[in-house]
Structure 1
Amino acid sequence: MTLYRQLLLTMLLLFAVLFVTAYSVQFSSTRSYLAQQQHTTVSNTVTALGLALTPYLESSDTLGAESIINAVFDGGFYRMVRLDLLASEQQIVREHRALPSRVPAWFIGLDLFEGARQDAVLTSGWMQLGHLYVEGHPGQAYYELWQGMSRLATWFLVCFFLSWGLLVVALRYLLKPLHDIEVQAREIELHHFGKPIPLPVTRELREVVAAINTMATKLEMQFNEQADEAERLRHKAFLDETSGLGNRAYFISQSQSWMGDGSGGAVVLVSVDVLERLYQEKGFAARDQMIFSVGERLRQLCRQFGDHALARLSAYEYALLIPVSDTELLTRFGETINGTIGELMVELLSEGEASVVGMAVIQPGDDIGLLLARADNALGKARREHTGAVVVEQGRTADDMGRQAWKQLVETALAEDGFEFTTQAVLDFSGEHVHDELFAHIRQGSKLYHAGEFLPVIEQFKLGVLLDRHILTRALSFLAARPDLKLAVNLTPQSCHQPAFWCSLEKLLEQHRGPAQRLVLEIPESAFAFGMGDLTRVLAKVELSWGIDHFGRHFGLLSHLGKLRPCYVKLDHGYTAQVTEPDFDEAFLTAICRLARHMEAMTIATRVQSGHQVELLKRLYIDAYQGFISPPRILD
């Protein structure tokens, strides 16, 4: 129970005890007063009535005595007035036993008043004339006691509830610093550092709040230092300082991860030969500034793609990895690159081109060395033959399909539910099952297409929202049929930034409340790289667990991990695959994992192939792993 409730209940209990005590004392005193008053009235009545009746009894005037008794009985509250005439052995009796009408029967049933009674012998000298008996009616006492105690109880209850309301307001105001401390402590526990707590006026709380603020500031500084250190290590290993892009090591690791996932696309090499002339004419500073400007323009051009990799490979050469394999689209993209760079170099161009572009489409079985060699050959051909700025090399096979054929394949699968699903387990290092990741495939005849092959078409034709809705609906049906199952579903970057998708997801979750508790959303890191603020606010409202896929692929996001608050991060395979290399430097990967762990986010290694790799990863700050060491299983 909270301190607020304890204090409130304690004060209300004390007030209730005070009320009951005061009410009991008042009730007892009022009852005693009314009983004494009734006794006094009856005694006075007997005395006065006896004096009034004696003359009539002496003259044996029965009618006169009866008149006196009637007058007294009608003018007071008596249950019985009885006169025994001893001489004639007659009785004059007046009796009223009706209960008061405005007093509850249960209250009268308490027998609070017995009714005062008194008798007297009426005499004349030594002669006894009669016997007078008077009994008071307790109804009036019950009525007065009920009315008085009811009013008192009403006022006490009004005061009680009024005091309750005032206590609620007062305690909330007085204990607000404690509530702020509690909230801040929880945020600190999650490594979320907000604004300092305002200092309260209470001296004791003021000291505590000041200490909490100081501790939060120091912890925030330490966390930022860790994030900066991780970013610094990453920059040292994978960043080209001059251009602000990735270096050759970064591009190689990302390309290996890309092709390992089976994702299609192309490698684009851009050679900006005019930079050599700029160096000769204006020196290092001008050349380096232009290198940076070219990198910024290429980064802007790549924003149209969901996932991509961009790096500077040598002094005048840039490399791009993009999810496009269509020759026509690649040609237009290359022309756009040349036009954009030409605008930067307009002062240096008297003739010729500012840059040349060579492209190589990823083919099954390619490795990064072969792919770069093909792209470099295309680049050399463009430079030698002066046949244009863009040359695309693509070895087509009989199975290659054009854009429209891919689009038709995907649309048919969506319309006819032509997807097949497999799952792959995520395990922690003790062997416990964390969850399963859901993978979608499209079967056409005997050929099975995995997601990496058709996702570029999904992005190109803006089909991501339709695909994600369909797969989420199927995932929820699987979860409803399998209570033991917990599924992670990947979202496309396009869906992540569509408000309509989140609205439809909310309605879908309303229809499947039970299974939805075992659903996990997996957001690609590229979705945060292109609009983190809006996406973070949306995810904060969704009552689902979620994680980040390909974590570490984009620069500059490590320091924002505390704002994202994911349940887990899946480390990009480009980093975890290096653990088996002899010259592997674990400093950067360890820094990322420690940073995620401090944010209470689980870190998951992907594409783990062997037990030896599991043992190497276990020594790092990694919590779980996933890969073909646990082969995919068909889900039906």
Structure 2
Amino acid sequence: MTLYRQLLLTMLLLFALLFVSAYSVQFSSTRSYLAQQQEFMVINTVTALGLALTPYLESDDAVGAESVVNAVFDGGYYRKVELRLLASNKTISRENATPPGRVPAWFADLELFEGGRHQAVLTSGWLQLGQLYVEGHTGHAYFQLWRGMSRLATWFALSFVLVWVLLVLALRHLLKPLHSIEEQAHEIEQHHFGKSIPLPATRELRRVVSAINGMAGKLEAQFEEQAAEAERLRHRAFVDHTSGLGNRSYFMAQSQSWLGDDRCGAVVLVSAGALDRLYREEGFEARDQMIRVIGKNLRQLCRDHGEHVLARISATEYAMLLDETEPAGLRQLGETINRQIAELVKDPDDDRDMPRVGIALVQPGDEIGRLLTRADHALNRARMDETGVVVEAHKQRERLGRLEWKQLLEEALEHDDFELSVQAVMDFAGERCHDEVFVSIRKDGIAFGADNFLPVAEQFGLGERLDLHIVTRALRMLENRPELKLAVNLTRQSCHQDGFWRKLAQVLERYEAVRDRLFLELPESAFAFGWERLIAPLASLKAAWGVDHFGRHFDLLVHLGRFRPRYVKLDHGYTSQVLQPDYNDAFLAAVCRAAHGMGALTIATRVETGQQVDRLRSLHIDAYQGYVSPPGRLC
């Protein structure tokens, strides 16, 4: 029970105790007063009636005496008036046996009053004339007591309600700083440090609030230092400092991760020979400025093509890995690159300054060395043939065209023809954290994974529809299987659509009972190309979420600290070489510390052997996922 409720209940109980005590005292005194009043009334009635009856008794006028008795009985509120004539041994009696009226029956049954009774002997000198007995009726006393106590109870009840309301308002105001301290402590527990608490007027609470704010500020600064350290290490290891793009090590690691996922795409090598001439004629500052401008143009072109890897791999060469697979589209991209770079050089008519582009398509079973060799051959042909772009004519993998994939995806959405499988995410204690859902479409007996149709979904605007469909299906599965915890990947296109988040909120509302067992995985590229758009949707999202392929884009760690994901899945490019003797784990350890600082678990991906598991266990990683735990069919 909260302190607010404890204080409120304590004060209300004390007030109720005060009310009961005051009410009991008032009830007892009122009852005693009415009983004494009734007793005095009966005595006075006997005295007055005795005086009025004496003349009639002396003259032995029974009729007159009876008239006096009737007059007194009718004019008062008595239960019984009885006159016994001693001379004639005759009794005159009047009695009202009706129960007390105008009060509840249960109240009258409490027997609070005896009615008051008095008896006297009427005399004339030494002669006894009669015996008079008067007993008061309790009805009037019950009515007076009921009316007085009812009014008092009503006033006390209204006062109680009023005090209750005032206490609620007062306690909320007085305990507001304490509530803010509680919220801040919870935020700190969740590694959220951005908010500071206003200093309250209460002296004791001011010191506590000041200490909490100071601690939160220090923790936030510590997290920012960890994030900055991780970024510095990543820049030192994987960034070309002149262009700001990735270096050759970065490109090799990311390409291995790309190929390991069996993704389609193409490698584009860009040679800018004008950089050497610019260095000889104008110096390194002009050359470096040109390197940065070319890198900026290439970065913009890559963003227009979705998921990509971009790096400067030598003094005059840039490398790009894109998910584009159409030769015509790749040739057009190469011509665009040539045109943009040619516009930057000093003498566009000098063939020595003309850029050259060589492109190689990713083939089944490709290794990065073989793929770069083919792309380099295409680049050399572009130099020798003095053509701007060469797309290597290697036999492409058998695949459907974009329109055929679009039709197949639309049919699968219409008829729910998706096959779902899951792969476990395990911690190092052997406990299952959750299962990641993998989606495929079966055609002609072959199951095509999501990497085949996701580019089509992005291109034709089907990502939002696909994500909502799979999320809804996963939630239905969670309803039927309470032991499951499922993670569903979202497309970048969906993440940047406001309408998607509204529809997703409606879906999660319908499945409120199971949504806490659903995890949504956002690609890191969604943050790299518009993290500002995700602030509001993720702040109001009523489901846990994580970041997939974490580490492919630079300068995101500090931004992700504002969002506080539940977990991050480290890109395979940073964990695939952990078993090599010369592997430097400083950057990976820094990333893990920064992730822990923002309250996120770190998960290694594509772990294939027990040796990798043992090595990752010592690198501050919390869990792992890969073919060491093979995928299983879900439905």
TM-score clears 0.5: yes
> C-alpha separation between the residues in 1 aligned to 2:457 and 2:50?
114
1:365 Cα deviation (Å)?
1.8
* Cα-Cα RMSD: 2.0
Which residue number corresponds to residue 172 of structure 1? Answer: 172
Could you tell me which residue of structure 1 aligns to residue 450 of structure 2? 451
Residue deviations 1:219-252, cap 9 Å, x none? 1111111111111111111111111111111111
1:155 counterpart residue number: 155
Cα shift readout 1:294-347 (whole Å, capped 9, x = no counterpart): 2222222222233211111122222111111111111222233233334444x6
Query: 2:310 aligned with 1:310, yes or no?
Result: yes
For residues 125 and 294 of structure 1, the distance between their equivalents in structure 2, rounded to whole angstroms, comes to 140
Question: Aligned equivalents of 1:414 and 1:456: distance in 2?
Answer: 16
AA in 2 matched with 1:271: S
d(CA) in 2 for partners of 1:536, 1:377 = 45
**Displacement of 1:374 after TM fit?**
1.8
Quote how far apart the aligned CAs of 1:458 are.
2.4
Matched, 1:92 2:97: no
Which segment is superposed worse, 352-361 or 427-436?
A: 352-361
Superposed, which structure 2 residues align to 1:238-317 within 5 Å? Answer: 238-317=238-317
SS of the aligned residue for 1:580 comes to: coil
C-alpha displacement of 1:185 = 1.0
Determine if contact 2:363/2:396 at 8 Å carries over to the other structure. Answer: no
1-structure distance, mates of 2:585, 2:620: 10
Aligned residue for 1:421?
A: 420
Q: Is the 8 A contact 2:508 2:542 kept in 1?
A: no
Correspondence for 2:602: 603
Q: Indicate the residue corresponding to 2:12 in structure 1.
A: 12
Q: 1:125-140 maps to which residues of 2 (within 5 A)?
A: 125-140=125-140
Matched, 1:520 2:519: yes
- 2:117 alignment partner in structure 1: 117
1:55 to 2:44 alignment: no
* Alignment partner of 1:465 is 2:464: yes
Question: CA-to-partner distance for each residue in 1:204-232, whole Å, 9 max, x for gaps?
Answer: 11111111111111111111111111111
1:629 counterpart = 2:617: no
In structure 1, the residue matched to 2:184 is 184
Query: Which shifted more, 564-573 or 301-310?
Result: 301-310
Once the two structures are superposed, the pairs formed by residues 459-498 of structure 1 within 5 Å of their partners are 459-498=458-497
Deviation at 1:538, TM superposition (A): 1.9
Give the Cα–Cα distance (whole angstroms) in 2 for the partners of residues 628 and 285 of structure 1: 49
Cα 1:469/1:210, change in 2 over 3 Å: closer
Q: Secondary structure at the match of 1:590?
A: helix
Q: 1:254-305 deviations in whole A, cap 9, x for unaligned?
A: 0000000011111112222333343344432232223222222222222223
Equivalents in 1 of 2:70, 2:343: separation in Å?
Answer: 124
**Partner of 1:26 in structure 2?**
26
SS for the counterpart of 1:579 is coil
Q: Deviations over 1:592-627 (max 9, x none)?
A: 112222333221111111111111111111111111
Q: CA 1:97/1:431 → structure 2, altered by over 3 Å: closer, same or farther?
A: same
Tell me how far 1:487 sits from its aligned partner: 2.1
Asked whether the equivalents of residues 306 and 527 of structure 1 are also in contact (C-alpha less than 8 Å), the reply is no
Indicate conservation of the 8 Å contact 2:194/2:220, yes or no: no
2:23 is aligned with what amino acid?
Y
Mean Cα displacement is larger for which, 64-73 or 36-45?
64-73
The more displaced of 439-448 and 176-185 is: 439-448
CA distance in 1, matches of 2:40, 2:552: 100
Retained in 1: the 8 A contact 2:246–2:311?
yes
In 1, are the aligned partners of 2:356 and 2:389 still within 8 Å (CA)? yes
- Distance in 2 between the 1:67 and 1:329 partners? 127
Secondary structure, aligned partner of 1:370: helix
Distance (Å, rounded) in 1 between the aligned partners of 2:578 and 2:357: 34
1:64 and 2:44 equivalent? no
TM-score normalised to structure 1 length: 0.95
Cα 1:11/1:115, change in 2 over 3 Å: same
> Cα distance, 1:85 vs. partner?
1.4
C-alpha displacement at 1:515, in angstroms? 4.9
Which stretch has the larger CA shift, 503-512 or 524-533?
503-512
Task: Return closer, same or farther for 1:512/1:197 CA change in 2, 3 Å cut-off.
Answer: closer
Q: Partners in 2 of 1:438 and 1:398 — Cα distance?
A: 26
Asked if the contact 1:312/1:318 (under 8 Å) is kept, the reply is yes
CA distance in 1, matches of 2:613, 2:280: 52
Distance 2:339 2:177 in 1: 60
Question: C-alpha separation between the residues in 2 aligned to 1:396 and 1:415?
Answer: 34
Q: Aligned residue pairs: how many?
A: 634
Provide the rounded CA distance (Å) in 2 between the counterparts of 1:418 and 1:160.
65
User: Displacement of 1:348 after TM fit?
Assistant: 4.7
In structure 1, distance between residues paired with 2:550 and 2:404: 33
Q: Which residue pairs with 1:530 in the alignment?
A: 529
Q: Partner of 1:426: helix, strand, or coil?
A: strand
User: Separation in 1 of the partners of 2:354 and 2:397?
Assistant: 37
Alpha-carbon distance in 1 for matches of 2:8, 2:479: 45
Instruction: Tell me, in whole angstroms, the C-alpha distance in 2 between the residues paired with 1:184 and 1:481.
Output: 37
Q: Give 3-state SS (helix, strand or coil) of 1:628's partner.
A: coil
Which residue is equivalent to 1:574? 573
Amino acid across the alignment from 2:274: V
Give the whole-Å Cα distance in 1 for the aligned partners of 2:391 and 2:385.
Answer: 14
Distance in 1, matches of 2:248 and 2:140, equals 104
**2:203 and 2:193 mapped to 1: Cα distance?**
24
Provide the secondary structure at the position in 1 that maps to 2:577.
helix
Report the Cα distance in structure 2 between the residues aligned to 1:293 and 1:101, rounded to whole angstroms: 102
Greater Cα offset, 268-277 or 106-115? 268-277
More deviation in 553-562 or 468-477? 468-477
The 3-state SS of whatever aligns with 1:276 is helix
Q: Is the 8 A contact 1:561 1:596 kept in 2?
A: no
* Aligned-residue offset at 1:77: 1.7
The separation in 2 between residues aligned to 1:452 and 1:278, in whole angstroms, is 42
1:370 paired to 2:370: yes
- Which structure 1 residue ranges, 5 or more long, are not aligned? none
Distance 1:517 1:189, change over 3 A: closer
Task: Note the C-alpha offset of 1:87.
Answer: 1.7
Supply the distance in 2 between the matched residues of 1:40 and 1:420 (Cα, whole angstroms).
97
What amino acid maps onto 1:448 in structure 2? A
Moved more, 59-68 or 206-215: 59-68
Q: 1:489 to 1:394 in 2, by over 3 A?
A: farther
**TM-score (norm. length: structure 2):** 0.95
**Cα distance, 1:344–1:175 mapped onto 2, change above 3 Å:** farther
Going from structure 1 to structure 2, the CA distance change for 1:476 and 1:160 (only over 3 Å counts) comes to closer
In structure 1, what is the equivalent of residue 503 of structure 2?
504
More off after superposition, 105-114 vs 436-445 = 436-445
Q: Secondary structure, in 3 states, of the residue corresponding to 1:263?
A: coil
Question: How far did residue 582 of structure 1 move?
Answer: 1.8
CA contact (8 A) 1:73 1:81 kept: yes
Q: Percent identity?
A: 64
Range with bigger deviation, 424-433 or 538-547: 538-547
